Structure 1
Amino acid sequence: MDEKKVGGSFIIDDVDYDSVVTPDDFTQEQRMIAETTKDFIDGEILPQDEAIESLNYDLTVNLLQKAGELGLLSADVPEQYEGLGLDKVSSTLISERFSKASSFGLSVGAHVGIGTLPIVYFGTEEQKKKYLPPLASGRKIAAYCLTEPSSGSDALGAKTTATLSEDGKHYILNGTKQFITNAAFADIFIVYAKVNGTDFSTFIIERTMEGVSIGPEEKKMGIKGSSTCPLILEDVKVPTENLLWEVGKGHLIAFNILNIGRFKLAAGCLGASKDTIELASAYANERVQFKQPISSFALVRKKLAEMNIRAYVLDSMVYRTAGLIDSSMKDIDFNSSDAGVASAKAIAEYALECSINKVFGSETLDFLADEGVQIHGGYGFINEYKIERLYRDSRINRIFEGTNEINRLLIPGTLFKRAMKGDLPLMQKAQKLQEELLTFIPQRTFEGLLEQEQYMIKMAKKMFLMIGGIAVQKYQEELETEQEILSHLADIMIQVYAAESAFLRTKKLIAKQGEEKVANAIAMTQIFVHESFETIESLAKDSLAAMESGDMLKAQLSVLKKLARRTPINTVVLKRQIAERVISAEKYVV
């Protein structure tokens, strides 16, 4: 990757395919890491699947330690603390592969991500030396403790308190944390509390500290093989050296770790999406009705094609974003005194893209799991079939790491804040567009391959600028209360990032392999760009109708109609071609 891109700039700038990382760029070493992860899951986890799902703590801990011995827990831990210090693309590959391990994958994800990364990014040298080696090896297991019974999305409304002792050597913590993954067997807890009831701060708490106790297991809809319990703190004396970073900086740690958590969640959704396609296509070939396999029926084939298209798009988004995060974090010196500040800044750079991945990834997996159950028919409702579990397990992803509603508010909110600070020339571009639209004439003919799709992505960005510009002018500081408009703007940005990610990946594939060899990727890109463009136009219309009326609304709709002009493509034929390949391979295909 060349120069570092400004977070959110994709919505106003053209992006060159050479500047993005794609799944087709993996090095031999990265592929080997992915294969090692797959072999571990196939050999160690899947044979124990039933025992893990029945919440066998000892088995889960034992398997976590085995994963640690293989280096699968240490990808994000720097080498000087006995980690592998891998790039984000490599650690993303591990996260994606672990999704096949169902609940165990969640246990791993909570440990290596939100459990360990706060110390990697914000810990002192002493904290890193003490905690990272055992966390990297699996000798100690981590948990992340932010949610409380009365504060979920409103994380800063936490009631857990931390009071400095009279001798200044300890903080006394009191409170309850809710829905803590790995709580039943975790050794290290990253806990958020308010010092003096006001300063939101972060602490490293050990299970063995007096006053730490664990509540009963929650009985959950899905992810049943993962531990989810309350953490109860009663006058817990935490040494002052276990304060993470500084008093009052807890929100920066929490939100930036959540950004990484959102991205890793999307990688997990990607892996589960591919698993779903494998299960559904194999079953469609096996199940015979009316004397033929149901994979021969057009509507089943259509489902499999649409599932594969969305997985291809998510695949493209996830590794594009991994490349961006790599570019942002590659120069951080984790030994320096300002590592915390540098880490917070680097992660925050692509907070918006992390939220986009989280929303699109979780909703893609929900769509695929739902269609997977439908293809299985009545058997999809029986827990003997893994698709039933995938359906239940997928639902939590839209709630984890900040609900999708919260993330939809964060996406445009973050963009507008960046623009106000002068990091992005958003309003200047919106102003320039208003002048351009007075004489705008849409392009009518397209000759080159994917030329119309490239044009449509450009027009989609103009639609965003048009709607966003009107919204800012109309509501100004009050825009943050117009949640429906913000949600529409978020959805337009999500669709643009998704469509552009697929387009850039396919253009890169064409340049490397030629058109004939990547006909499937071309078809998937064409379909997704056209279908997402329809979605974007509909969102823009709804937004205009909410903000304008009378002649002004008619005038704006007339402009939108020009921006939205396109020649439809035959998606029926293209989806049949894609389905043929999925059914033949019985798995996700590019």
Structure 2
Amino acid sequence: MPNVYARAEVAKHAALGDLWVVIDAKVYDLSKFAALHPGGQSVLLDPEIAGQDATEAFFGLHRLQVLRHPQYARLQIGVLAGESEKIKPRAAGSLSEVPYAEPTWLTPVYHSPYFKEHHRAFQRGVRTFVDEFLFEDAQKLQKNGQKPSQKVWDELARLNIHAMRLGPGPHLRGRTLMNDTVKPEEFDCFHELIMSQEMSRLHARGYHDGVAGGNAIGLPAIKNFAKSPVRERILTEVLDGKKIICLAISEAFSGSDVARTKTFATKSADGRHWIVTGTKKWITNGNFADYFITACRTDTGMVVLLIERGEGVETRHINTAYGPASGTAFVTFDNVQVPVEHIIGPDDGSGLIVILSNFNHERWFMCCSSLGAQRLILDECLKWVSQRKVFGKPLHAQPVIRAKLANMITRVESAQAWLESITFQMNNMNYKEQSTHLAGQVALLKRYCTHTAQKTARDAQQLFGGRGLTKTGMGRFIEHYHTTIGFDSILGGTEDILGDLGVRQAMKQMPKYARL
């Protein structure tokens, strides 16, 4: 049983060498720690802190995790008589109680036409996995840049997250999805939406792409266009977590204009191989990928090839703002021999079709991830403006602060509603219909999500002030978000390109004789 103290007893210990404080009904002895306090011992000797309840002062400076750290938790010597702690971390797998921190369909007072109980069970399973298994690993590797361990890849495979990232389809048959929270025949685009939003709750942008990027954007080409038995072999290896694949399209010479690709492929004299020479740049997961889905020019057009890491393939790390954990690489192909069976698509002139075919799905799950991360930042901001005091009042007492919050909420809620509407259409349209009717909408939605995310990042940094510029402490997640948010506006097509695409798609559907 912990020692129990009255407040009057704690107040007697308010001097240098004999210093106690109360934080959330727990009594801490800081007598020896005071000299080691990063802010100096004078801070702790303040008459409003020494021997007093320092809960408000503590949470104006520190995150709750500080109290849970063994180095500081050992300073607790007891509890206050008749009182109990009120501030507790969110339990693993549980929902936030902060308004707008969760999509409305997850809150009990709201209703949705899209989500059923198996969606909610699935969400709980993914949230628990992210909280208990991925989060700490993400925080560690985001800093040191190492490839996620095989243990992580094996767990992603056991839960069949690799397979679910490809969306609904026959590839899920016979697989146990997220500990059987959803049956393969029930799995739909809303489950994938849930998974993408939950997987973005890591506050580690590079790590997120490290475990979710390359496979998610590279495997669809294999699933949809590779020839058997290559398709079956690669799908099995990657979905079972044994190999990693990446999409190698972008070059220093060509970004959104993929038709200008300069990586060249020619047939060998015996016709058994493609000989590939060229470079690719900014390739997510390229540094540790085993396979490269590679766009090449040929004498007759474009071809997409499955290139295996081996002789003639070299990868070099590219330093990016969101850290090395994504494995972003510069890839060199030097006279690489690729078996002709490794062609992705019906013939050597169909490369552009293969590349464009996955853009809708890629951009759609980028929208999901963007909104998941935005909501996490909104959660941080709403907590901060409630606990931070300025001029004797909570920060949210200032009208300018409430205006920023209103904008943040409006942006994330409107984008979520648009996303759910498009996702419903995806559930009810075949591939051809999606290509015709959703390409423009998805492009405009991604543009909207990433554009508003940058506004949210700036507003969040303003709310946190200097803390939002610091890589540690209260605002560390805000600093990371603000530093890395630009990636979403570039990957999968820049905002300008996607805005133009959306309008061009709309103009194609304009009635010929529409007049004012």
Question: TM-score w.r.t. structure 1 length?
Answer: 0.63
1:509-528 residue pairs with structure 2 within 5 A? none
Distance in 2 (alpha carbons) for counterparts of 1:255 and 1:238: 22
Distance in 2 (alpha carbons) for counterparts of 1:183 and 1:110: 10
Letter in 1 for 2:511: L
Partner of 1:31: 120
Who wins on radius of gyration, i.e. which is larger?
2
Tell me, yes or no, if structure 1 residue 241 matches structure 2 residue 341. Answer: yes
Tell me, yes or no, if structure 1 residue 200 matches structure 2 residue 289. Answer: no
Tell me, yes or no, if structure 1 residue 392 matches structure 2 residue 451. Answer: no
Tell me, yes or no, if structure 1 residue 93 matches structure 2 residue 194. Answer: yes
Contact 2:278/2:333 (8 A) holds in 1: yes
In the TM superposition, what whole-angstrom CA distance separates every residue of 1:416-441 from its partner, at most 9, and x where no partner exists?
33x3xxxxx5233x22xx2xxxxxxx
Letter in 2 for 1:152: G
Contact 2:364/2:442 (8 A) holds in 1: yes
Partner of 2:353: 252
Aligned with residue 225 of structure 1, among 302, 309, 325: 325
Aligned with residue 264 of structure 2, among 161, 165, 179: 161
In the TM superposition, what whole-angstrom CA distance separates every residue of 1:227-254 from its partner, at most 9, and x where no partner exists?
1111111111111111001211111111
The answer to which structure has the higher strand fraction is 2
1:526-565 residue pairs with structure 2 within 5 A? none
In the TM superposition, what whole-angstrom CA distance separates every residue of 1:311-332 from its partner, at most 9, and x where no partner exists?
1111111111111122223xxx
Contact 1:172/1:236 (8 A) holds in 2: yes
Partner of 2:153: 64
Contact 1:256/1:348 (8 A) holds in 2: no
Distance in 2 (alpha carbons) for counterparts of 1:404 and 1:205: 30
Distance in 2 (alpha carbons) for counterparts of 1:243 and 1:414: 30
Task: Quote how far apart the aligned CAs of 1:380 are.
Answer: 0.6
Letter in 1 for 2:241: G
Task: Quote how far apart the aligned CAs of 1:107 are.
Answer: 2.4
Tell me, yes or no, if structure 1 residue 41 matches structure 2 residue 143. Answer: no
Partner of 2:384: 283
Task: Quote how far apart the aligned CAs of 1:79 are.
Answer: 4.1
| 3-state SS of paired residue (2:462) | helix
Contact 1:69/1:137 (8 A) holds in 2: yes
Distance in 1 (alpha carbons) for counterparts of 2:171 and 2:139: 38
1:77-476 residue pairs with structure 2 within 5 A? 78-80=169-171, 86-101=187-202, 102=204, 103-196=206-299, 198-207=300-309, 209-215=310-316, 217-245=317-345, 246-329=347-430, 343=431, 346-384=434-472, 385-417=476-508, 419=509, 426-428=511-513, 430-431=514-515, 434=516
Letter in 2 for 1:391: H
Change (3 A) 1:107 1:328: farther
Task: Quote how far apart the aligned CAs of 1:346 are.
Answer: 4.2
| Stretches of structure 2 lacking an aligned partner (at least 5 in a row) | 1-110, 178-183
Task: Quote how far apart the aligned CAs of 1:123 are.
Answer: 2.2
Partner of 2:78: none
| 3-state SS of paired residue (2:325) | coil
Partner of 1:52: 141
Distance in 2 (alpha carbons) for counterparts of 1:115 and 1:144: 5
Distance in 2 (alpha carbons) for counterparts of 1:55 and 1:199: 42
Contact 1:23/1:315 (8 A) holds in 2: no
Contact 1:273/1:364 (8 A) holds in 2: no
| 3-state SS of paired residue (2:122) | helix
Change (3 A) 1:292 1:24: farther
Letter in 2 for 1:229: A
In the TM superposition, what whole-angstrom CA distance separates every residue of 1:529-588 from its partner, at most 9, and x where no partner exists?
xxxxxxxxxxxxxxxxxxxxxxxxxxxxxxxxxxxxxxxxxxxxxxxxxxxxxxxxxxxx
| 3-state SS of paired residue (2:349) | coil
Contact 2:148/2:211 (8 A) holds in 1: no
| 3-state SS of paired residue (1:179) | strand
Contact 1:110/1:144 (8 A) holds in 2: no
Letter in 1 for 2:496: E
Task: Quote how far apart the aligned CAs of 1:64 are.
Answer: 3.1
Partner of 1:489: none
| 3-state SS of paired residue (2:320) | coil
The answer to which structure has the higher helix fraction is 1
Distance in 2 (alpha carbons) for counterparts of 1:74 and 1:348: 26
In the TM superposition, what whole-angstrom CA distance separates every residue of 1:268-298 from its partner, at most 9, and x where no partner exists?
1110110010111111112111122202222
Letter in 2 for 1:166: A
Distance in 2 (alpha carbons) for counterparts of 1:210 and 1:23: 53
| 3-state SS of paired residue (2:355) | helix
Letter in 2 for 1:301: R
Distance in 2 (alpha carbons) for counterparts of 1:112 and 1:89: 19
Contact 2:275/2:338 (8 A) holds in 1: yes
Partner of 1:506: none
Letter in 2 for 1:93: I
User: What CA RMSD, in Å, does the superposition of the two structures yield over aligned residues?
Assistant: 2.0
Bigger relative contact order, structure 1 or 2 (CA pairs below 8 A, ≥6 apart): 1
Partner of 2:92: none
Change (3 A) 1:176 1:56: same
In the TM superposition, what whole-angstrom CA distance separates every residue of 1:500-552 from its partner, at most 9, and x where no partner exists?
xxxxxxxxxxxxxxxxxxxxxxxxxxxxxxxxxxxxxxxxxxxxxxxxxxxxx
Distance in 1 (alpha carbons) for counterparts of 2:425 and 2:215: 20
Letter in 2 for 1:387: I
Contact 2:162/2:216 (8 A) holds in 1: no
In the TM superposition, what whole-angstrom CA distance separates every residue of 1:174-232 from its partner, at most 9, and x where no partner exists?
11000000011111211000122x4111111112x3211112x2121225431111111
Change (3 A) 1:61 1:33: same
Letter in 2 for 1:353: Q
Task: Quote how far apart the aligned CAs of 1:53 are.
Answer: 0.9
| 3-state SS of paired residue (2:512) | helix
* Stretch moving more, 139-148 or 96-105: 96-105
* Stretch moving more, 287-296 or 229-238: 287-296
Distance in 2 (alpha carbons) for counterparts of 1:377 and 1:70: 40
Question: TM-score w.r.t. structure 2 length?
Answer: 0.71
Contact 1:61/1:185 (8 A) holds in 2: no
Letter in 2 for 1:26: F
| 3-state SS of paired residue (1:177) | strand
Distance in 2 (alpha carbons) for counterparts of 1:60 and 1:104: 12
Task: Quote how far apart the aligned CAs of 1:348 are.
Answer: 4.8
Task: Quote how far apart the aligned CAs of 1:407 are.
Answer: 0.9
Partner of 2:103: none
